Structures are given as structure tokens and as C-alpha cells.
Amino acid sequence: MISKRNNISRNKIGYIGRKIAFIMVIAVLFSSCATKRDVVYFQNTGDFETLVDKNTFTPKFKVDDVLSIYVSTLDNQASAPFNLFRAGPDSNAGAGSLSAEQVDYLVDKDGEIDFPVIGKIKVSGLSSEELRIVIRDELSDYLKDPIINIRLRNFTVTVLGEVNRPGTYPVNGERITILEALGLANDLTIKGKRENIMVIRDFDGTKVYHRINLKRKEAMSSPVYYLTQNDVVYVEPNKSAITASSLDSRTTIAVSIGSLLITSTILLITRTNR
């Protein structure tokens, strides 16, 4: 009789254990249900399809940009007054030695820089080529055939949200696509929402929000396909991520309740057997 009761007790405990295991398996399945349609880029492109880049994006300078501008000619002495330098310590020389260090230009709140000899130049809203033409025209009375090198020093993009390596990344060239920026962040996670990526752009203090769908080839014609300096790219979590987050808490509660039930059942059966 005692053996029969023990068998019944073990069957009850096994039944409860199987129930809890079933609940946990269902939770895992629901939390990882991402399909091919959720994660593939440019789904409406065909085989050997040619896409012509009609995006005429040209980066423009903004307020608070930091520019490096260097003017050179065959006569270095003639172009020297048009370049800003400051004296700094020379690490390769002895103590007290100084070397010349080029000074960058900060675009002020009025969108201007103060250029040597020439004075104030309106920079905001101009591309590097447009600014080069403006400076060359201003220097025409002083220099013959000057070479003007312009470089944006503070070009960074920030990638946040469901990516593998969120952060702020420096850009070496003048242009970067949203795909290249996501590549710097090691791509989206499986839980990233590819059809509704937000780009936050600043125009001299005014924030502009734009969304882009990377599951469609039309994304390449988007005004935010090419990023500008200080753009923020935010990748939202998809439904599976939100569901998984919700299920995580529910699963924890279910396991806790299940453990409590098993413990209570074991105690009850133990007392009954006595």
C-alpha cells in the first residue's frame, strides 16, 4: 500500500514538472519567432537588377562645425598670411622647442568663420566645393592660382538601439550612407526593426526626424540615405523583441509559481504519507 502511494506521489510530481517544462518551451518559441521577411534588406529587388543612384546629396556645413582650411601656392611666403598657426611644444626636439600647429576654424552661431586678412566668410549652407570657390575668389587679389584644401573635422554619426555595437563613429570622408554607418555598428541585431529606422538630423538647432525602410530598394532615394555630420540613427526593437521582453518577466513569474507549487506539493505528499 505504501509503495502504491509513493508511485502516485511521484506521478503527481512528474506531471507538475512536465507542465512547467511545457510552459518554458512555449515561452522560448514565442520569444524567437523572427521570419525571413523581418530581417532581409531590399526585398523588392530582382536578380541582376541595375539601380541608378539618382540621389544628388551634397554635404553642407552647419553651425558649430570645425573646419580645417589650408591655402598653398608655389610661393609659401605669399600664402603664409592666409593660414592660421599657433606655437606648440615640439615632442621631437629638446625642452623649450616649439613647432607650428595649424588652427581649425569654428563656424559661429551666425554661420561664419573669421578668415585671415579676408575677414568674415559665410560658411553655413555651403558645400566644400562652394566654399572653396568663395575663398578662391576672395584671394584672387592676393594670390595666383591658390590651392585650397578644406576638411570637416567633426564628422561623426551616432548609431543607437538594436545594433550589435552602438556608439558614435568618426567619418573620414565627406559622405557616408546609412548602410555604412550600420556596418560600423556591426549591423542590426535579429531583433532590429529594419522597416522603420529613424534618423535624427540637426539643422542649426532645429531637429528633423525622418524614417527609412531598409527592406525596400526605394531606401536608396531617401533624403537620409546619405548621412550628415552629427546625425543620430536609431533602430527600434521589432515585435519579437517586445514580445520576448514581456515573456521574460512572465516566464520568471511562471517558474517562481511552478517552483512554489512543486515544493508545496512535495510537502503535502510527504505529510500525507506519514
pLDDT, tens only, 62-87: 999 999 999 999 998 999 999 988 87
Question: Among 86-90, 116-120, 245-249, which stretch is predicted with the lowest mean pLDDT?
Answer: 245-249
At residue 46, the pLDDT reads 74
Q: What mean pLDDT comes out for the span 219-247?
A: 83
Residue 16 — pLDDT band, cuts 50, 70, 90? low
Distance separating alpha carbons of residues 226 and 213, to the nearest angstrom: 14
At residue 25, the pLDDT reads 54
User: Residue 219: is its pLDDT beyond 70?
Assistant: yes
Residue among 114, 263, 245, 262 at smallest CA distance from 191: 245
- Which of 99 and 199 is assigned the larger pLDDT? 199
Query: 550589435: which residue's cell?
Result: 164
Query: 584671394: which residue's cell?
Result: 139
User: Residue 124: is its pLDDT beyond 70?
Assistant: yes
CB of 233 closer than 8 Å to CB of 225: no
At residue 88, the pLDDT reads 60
At residue 6, the pLDDT reads 55
At residue 17, the pLDDT reads 55
Kindly report the length of the chain: 274
At residue 246, the pLDDT reads 53
Residue 204 — pLDDT band, cuts 50, 70, 90? confident
Q: Say what percent of the chain tops pLDDT 70.
A: 67
